[in-house]
Amino acid sequence: MTTQPTRRALVRLLAALPFIGACARLGDTAYAGPVSDHFDGARFFNPDGAPPRGLLDLLRWHLTETAASWPESLPSPFPPDRPPARVAGPELRISFAGHASFLLQANGLNLLTDPVWSERVSPFSFLGPKRHNPPGIAFADLPPIDAVLISHGHYDHLDVETLGRLWQRDRPRIFAPLGQDATIRKHDPSIAVETADWGQTVDLGRGATASLVPVHHWTARGILDRNRALWCGFMIRGLGPTVFFAGDTGFDSGRPFRDLVARHGAPDLALLPIGAYEPRWFMAPQHMNPADAVQGFEILGARQALGYHWGTFQLTNEPAEQPAADLDAALAERGIAPERFLALRPGQVWTAAALA
């Protein structure tokens, strides 16, 4: 029988596996295409950026660092949202389901980012990082979904079970970076997935588009598929305000944000990750901390930011509420009004009226 300490150790290891790209599976994703400035013919990479950490670093992390204990339940102060079926005009409505899952509604379009409604983010249904709060929108209360954006293949962003449920119910258009279609179709070959590269723009329908933009991250599902598929952020237009959804990214000296502004201009709204950042020596290349996110917000020149990727799944060492506290401190240090960068909680709703 597995002892409780051993079980906790296994759960922590499974939480860390996405950061080295190793698990019990051999890997789902493999992309074949021409060499580019971020693809060497076999694997994708961050041009001039830091590679992801390896197994020895993972062992150092778990042998020398101690993770904070999270409470079993972290209920949101916001009740679950029950979104309208549609938002007819350009007054963007955003509902936060948790982690990196947002429902964006405007101009008759219903769009989901990185939808995760499963209980765990793991290759196993019985072990691995588990929810500390339920989704901020019950799956049954989701309106008909027209389009889905997938930023990369880590288990806390690409949830094939949820995608399967959405596909069976709504037949949404699903957009993902190059190579991520293999993971989704391995789960359900009937699911139609449209892939694109950095710099390309996809049509979401109803006048909205999403441009795939470089961020400093990586991807994997198994032992042999590290960076065999691509990762990205999205610049979304046609929902009223322009929206940047970062997916996951390291700060990378601010380069992803400067490049975005140079190519696409400043977004009105930036959706930026603020959690899963300790220990810093391990996580800095791939996950921003709140101070990084505030600097990214300033570089972007956005009018508003919404913080996510915290408080739902324990993936790293910081306490559950630390990202929100660190965000408050970083905003105060930079002299930014706290209402301009909110650490969202499941069920919380933001509307474009706040920009006024």
The predicted-structure confidence for 78-100, as pLDDT tens digits, reads as follows 999 999 999 999 999 999 999 99
Cα 121 to Cα 112, 283, 315, 320: the distances in Å are 18, 18, 10, 17
Structure confidence by residue, pLDDT tens digits, 199-209: 999 999 999 99
Question: Residue 30 has what pLDDT?
Answer: 73
* pLDDT over 90 at 193, yes or no: yes
Cβ-in-10-Å burial (0-12, 13-18, 19+) of 223 comes to middle
Instruction: Give yes or no for a contact between 212 and 38, defined as CB atoms under 8 angstroms apart.
Output: no
Q: What is the DSSP string of 300-316?
A: HT-SEEEEES-SSS--S
Whether the per-residue pLDDT at 266 is higher than 90: the answer is yes
21 pLDDT higher than 80: no
Residue 19's pLDDT band (cuts 50, 70, 90):
very low
122-137 pLDDT tens trace: 988 888 899 999 999 9
With a pLDDT cut of 90, the percent of the chain lying above it is 82
Check whether 48 has a pLDDT greater than 50: yes
Q: Tens digit of pLDDT for each residue in 329-338?
A: 999 999 999 9
Q: What is the pLDDT of residue 12?
A: 56
pLDDT band at 10 (very low <50, low <70, confident <90, very high): low
Adjacent-strand bridge partners of 307: 272, 343
pTM of this structure: 0.93
Contacts of 288 (CB under 8 A, 6+ apart): 249, 250, 251, 272, 273, 274, 277, 296
Query: What SS3 class is residue 355?
Result: helix
The number of residues making up the chain comes to 356
Query: What is the rounded average pLDDT of the residues 59-84?
Result: 94
Mean pLDDT, range 42-50, rounded to an integer: 94
Taking the mean position of all CA atoms in its chain, how far away is CA 291?
18
Cβ atoms within 10 Å, residue 168: 11
Confidence of residue 22 (pLDDT cuts 50, 70, 90): very low
Indicate the pLDDT class of residue 356, thresholds 50, 70 and 90.
confident
All structural domains of the chain with their residue ranges: 4-355
Residues paired with residue 343 on neighbouring β-strands, in sequence order: 307
Predicted local distance difference test score (pLDDT) of residue 26:
43
Sheet (strand 269-273) strand order = 201-205, 208-213, 233-237, 243-245, 269-273, 304-308, 341-343
CATH architecture group of domain 4-355:
4-Layer Sandwich (3.60)
Give the separation between CA 228 and CA 33, rounded to whole angstroms.
Answer: 11
> Is the pLDDT reported for residue 237 higher than 90?
yes
Question: What is residue 50's three-state secondary structure?
Answer: coil
- 18 pLDDT more than 80: no
The H or E element that residue 261 is part of is: helix 255-264
Q: What is the pLDDT of residues 268-289, one digit of tens each?
A: 999 999 999 999 999 999 999 9
Phi, psi of 124 (to 5 degrees): -120, 140
Q: What is the pLDDT of residue 70?
A: 97
